Amino acid sequence: MTAEPLAFRHRHLLGLEGLRADEIDLILDLADGYVAQNRQADRKNALLRGRTIINLFFENSTRTRTSFELAGKRLGADVINMSVATSSVKKGETLIDTAMTLNAMHADVMVVRHPESGAVKLLADKVTGSVINAGDGTHEHPTQALLDALTIRRRKGRLAGLVVTICGDILHSRVARSNIHLLNAVGATVRVVGPPTLIPSEVENLGVEVHHRMSTGLAGADIVMMLRLQQERMQGQYVPSFREYFRFYGLDYEKLAAAKPDALIMHPGPMNRGVEIDSEVADDINRSVILDQVELGVAVRMAMLDLLTRRERTNAQ
């Protein structure tokens, strides 16, 4: 690699709240470079050779874990995956104990997903290496928002000034929170749309416009971000039924017509076809960038692994 930018100011990536626009640009610029690398025949380099990355997942995930694993391997690191059952009553003990145990193995980076908000921070306080939050409860999922931003920037050429509408279950979405923080930092306009039962309290104070109708929420939008609706939250608890939800909040061509003609459709996956998004719309190669998101996810995670290990690598030289 040529002339590396300064090391990242933060030891961990626990969330995007408080991250500055120039820091986000730094990550995205670096990730752009890794996109190019990933499209070459030889996709591997040796930047992190001899380094250890532990993927510690307290919650099931295939795509995020695979994406981090691939990112680590493409940088030449040794990657270990650990899935920890969370069914035991004393989950907290497991968390701290696991953190201390893994810390003793000198992992350079730990990538952690946990079903509870704040758990990744608790763990980060106990380890000597860097920690990347791969999703904690309903708090943040920073690399997802970064890959979303990279996807938008590559398609639209910019982030500032765009109107981005996030639709669906905002209440339980860590992806929504990370996106709100990032998009506000870079000067985009952020809207959220969903039934009032799925909009968190005082979310407007995070810098978003709140809408309850897709027609107004999508009006003039450049980007339409759909969120996954957790099936267990249906059946009358937050929304009366799937079909009612789809009728009012499922993305189909009719509702999409309110957005700009060149509006892009995004989804963090995995999709519930026919619940939050119509299959035809999801597969529309002119509008949907859902597969781009998957590809760019690897590049963004490579960029983060690179950045967070820079100080340590410089010291080691």
Partner 1 sequence: MTRRSAYLNARLLDPASGLDVRGGLLAVDGKIADFGPRVFADGVPGGVDVVVDCEGLCLAPGLVDMRVQIGEPGAEEKETIPTASRAAAAGGITSLVCLPGTEPPIDDVSTLEFIARRAREAKLVKIFVAPAVTRGLEGRQLTEMGLLAEEGAVAFTDGHQAVADAAVMARALNYAKVFDKPIMQHPEEPSLSAGGQMNAGERATRLGLKGINRLAEVMMIERDLRLVELTGGRYHAAHLSTGAAVEAIRAAKRRGLPVTCDTAPPYFALTEVDVGDYRTFAKLSPPLRGEMDRRAIVEGLADGTIDAVASDHRPHDQDSKRVPFDQAAAGGVGLETLLPLVLELHHKGTLTLLDALALVTHRPAAILGMEAGRMRVGAPADLVLFDPDVPWKIEERALRSKSKNTPFDKRPTQGRAVRTVVDGRTVFLHGH
Report yes or no: 98 and 84 within 8 Å, Cβ to Cβ. yes
Rule CB under 8 A: say whether 32 interacts with partner 1.
Answer: no
How far apart (Å, rounded) are the C-alpha atoms in residues 238 and 255?
22
How far apart (Å, rounded) are the C-alpha atoms in residues 292 and 269?
12
Rule CB under 8 A: say whether 7 interacts with partner 1.
Answer: no
Candidate list 93, 244, 254, 283; residue touching partner 1; CB under 8 A = 93
Which residues neighbour 309 within 8 Å (Cβ) at sequence distance 6 or greater?
48, 51, 108, 109, 130
Rule CB under 8 A: say whether 122 interacts with partner 1.
Answer: yes
270: preceding bond cis by omega (within 30 degrees): yes
Rule CB under 8 A: say whether 211 interacts with partner 1.
Answer: no
Structural tokens at position 169: 């279950």
Closer of 121 and 191 to partner 1 (Cβ): 121
Classify residue 79 by its DSSP letter: E
Candidate list 37, 117, 184, 216; residue touching partner 1; CB under 8 A = 117
Rule CB under 8 A: say whether 114 interacts with partner 1.
Answer: yes
Give the β-pairing of 223-226 and 163-167: parallel
Candidate list 78, 116, 252, 312; residue touching partner 1; CB under 8 A = 116
Closer of 154 and 212 to partner 1 (Cβ): 212
Rule CB under 8 A: say whether 212 interacts with partner 1.
Answer: no
Rule CB under 8 A: say whether 203 interacts with partner 1.
Answer: yes
Closer of 29 and 125 to partner 1 (Cβ): 125
Contacts with partner 1, 139-178, as mask; x by CB under 8 A:
xx---------------------------------x--x-
- Please report, for the chain, how many H helices and E strands are present, in that order: 12, 9
How far apart (Å, rounded) are the C-alpha atoms in residues 246 and 301?
33
Which residues neighbour 160 within 8 Å (Cβ) at sequence distance 6 or greater?
186, 187, 188
**Least Cβ distance, residue 195 to partner 1 (angstroms):** 16
Rule CB under 8 A: say whether 91 interacts with partner 1.
Answer: yes
Listed ranges 41-49, 159-167, 194-202, 276-284: which one lies at the site for partner 1 (CB under 8 A): 194-202
Q: How many CB atoms lie within 10 A of CB 293?
A: 22
Q: Is 18 helix (H, G, I), strand (E, B) or coil?
A: coil
Which residues contact partner 1 by CB under 8 A?
17, 90-93, 95-96, 114, 116-119, 121-122, 136-140, 174, 177, 200-203, 205-206
